[in-house]
Amino acid sequence: RQSNPRVLPCLVALTKCDSPDAEVALELLREVLRDRFKSVMVSVTQKETLPALGRAIFDMFGIIRVYSKKPGKPPEMETPFILPEGGTVIEMAEKVHKVLAERFSFARLWRKGGIEGQRVGRSEGLKDGDIIEIHTI
């Protein structure tokens, strides 16, 4: 019988990166792990290290966060919609509500790097952190 191993993504979370021996331990781990696994250093006492863990997980699984905005209201940044990388405006509209996708007219896009409320169509590709305001007919 022939085995068929599956390769699964693996991420090593290197915790306690704030401990006194962290640099030495990191050097040893990198020597052992080499480039076989992606790793990220985190510490629960240094909250600024935690977003890197979330970002690494999203990158590993190829997913992005997209935020919704109702016309005339601020964006809802608490609960993003999760889409695959390369997801489109219409895919986001479908996640919000089926009727919203069916009655889609256009959307406005806000993106880091200078796009501020640009009018876009249903096939516009989305990136992590985009804010979308959907307009219907």
**pLDDT tens digits for the chain (137 residues)?**
566 677 778 888 888 888 888 888 888 887 887 777 888 888 888 889 888 998 899 999 999 999 999 999 999 999 999 999 999 999 999 999 999 999 999 999 999 988 899 999 999 999 999 999 999 99
Distance CA 65, CA 58 (A): 9
Burial bucket for residue 43 (CB in 10 Å: 0-12, 13-18, 19+): middle
pTM: 0.75
Q: Which helix (H) or strand (E) holds 12?
A: strand 11-14
Task: Please provide residue 13's backbone torsions phi and psi, each rounded to the nearest 5 degrees.
Answer: -90, 110
Q: Where are the domains of the chain?
A: 11-61, 63-136
CATH, domain range 63-136? 3.10.20.30
